[in-house]
Amino acid sequence: MKIAILSRKHSLYSTQRLVEAAQTRDHHADIIDTMRCYMNITSAQPTIHYKGNELDPYDAVIPRIGASVTFYGAAVIRQLEMMGVFCVNDSVAITRARDKLRSLQLLSKKGIGLPVTGFAHSLDEIKDLIAMVGGPPLVIKFLEGTQGIGVILVETSKAARSVLEAFLGLKVNIMVQEYIKEAGGADIRCFVVGGKVVAAMKRQAKLPEEFRSNLHRGGIATPIDITDEERNMAIRSANIIGLNVAGIDIIRSNRGPMIMEVNASPGLEGIEKTTGVDVASEIIKFTESGVSRNHKERKE
């Protein structure tokens, strides 16, 4: 099989591991820099060019699209889909996952447990917005934030008002969320591949005053046994967003597990090093089955 790994950097742990796992299973893998692909959108003959030449035909693409390049990355993946290449995560699912609000809306419609979340544009209804999520303490989040940046814990109504006024005034898209105190600065990352949770880890904020568990914010990861309810929730959430490979973040609340976030390009380093699971090979195995399904469908 010929696999393209769409990634901006050769040296990234996840990129390297996917190449390694593909080669171990006797596949050819190339790393293609998403941002150096360019497209020809001619009728009935979509092609992609790369560094001056038409891109070789690939059987499969594994997208690793960073948050800052979602728009262009999704266009490249869409073009590959048009060309009949099997894409491990498709462009629509990736753009859905990147929009936190859209993801939560889709999950809430299907009855998935979520913290009470508010979203507003106008400065006039701040009081009601704060009341809607149960009052302080509450969490204010940038819609486009990642790695815990732009996630703010606000302890009083006065502070909530000031922060909301500042951000709404600056036209930053934010959401307001009930604070799940009992989570104790921890969350669970479930790594889903092809409708199964292949690995799970708990992330715990390092400092007692920190509530964000992100590893980029110094969080500490340990392996964890998840409950059946959490497993089902992770699988269902990936499915609702339409992702075959996903990092589903769950928080444990007094009302049961709740979804924090759905990630379309979850990193492999933390999960593999913490759990010892060869997640990269799970992704390659899933890619193999996807390609054989794709070949069959295209013959029919």
Residues forming the site for ligand ADP (CB under 6 A):
115, 139, 141, 145-148, 151, 177-180, 183, 187, 211-214, 249, 251, 260-261
- Compare residues 90 and 187 and give the one whose CB is closer to ligand ADP: 187
How many angstroms separate the CA atoms of 286 and 280, rounded? Answer: 10
How many angstroms separate the CA atoms of 189 and 273, rounded? Answer: 13
- Compare residues 46 and 145 and give the one whose CB is closer to ligand ADP: 145
- Compare residues 12 and 151 and give the one whose CB is closer to ligand ADP: 151
Shortest separation between residue 269's beta carbon and ligand ADP, angstroms: 16
How many angstroms separate the CA atoms of 65 and 75, rounded? Answer: 11
- Compare residues 100 and 231 and give the one whose CB is closer to ligand ADP: 100
Number of Cα atoms under 13 Å in the Cβ half of residue 22: 22
End-to-end CA distance of the chain: 20
Shortest separation between residue 115's beta carbon and ligand ADP, angstroms: 4
- Compare residues 16 and 214 and give the one whose CB is closer to ligand ADP: 214
Contacts of 39 (CB under 8 A, 6+ apart): 46, 47, 48, 49, 75, 76, 79
Contacts of 87 (CB under 8 A, 6+ apart): 60, 61, 63, 77, 80, 81
Shortest separation between residue 138's beta carbon and ligand ADP, angstroms: 8
Shortest separation between residue 219's beta carbon and ligand ADP, angstroms: 8
Shortest separation between residue 146's beta carbon and ligand ADP, angstroms: 5
- Compare residues 27 and 252 and give the one whose CB is closer to ligand ADP: 252
Shortest separation between residue 204's beta carbon and ligand ADP, angstroms: 9
Shortest separation between residue 181's beta carbon and ligand ADP, angstroms: 7
- Compare residues 1 and 143 and give the one whose CB is closer to ligand ADP: 143
Strand blocks (E) in the chain: 2-6, 28-32, 37-40, 47-50, 53-54, 60-63, 86-87, 117-119, 138-142, 151-154, 174-178, 186-193, 196-204, 220-223, 245-253, 256-263
Pairing of β 60-63 and β 2-6: parallel
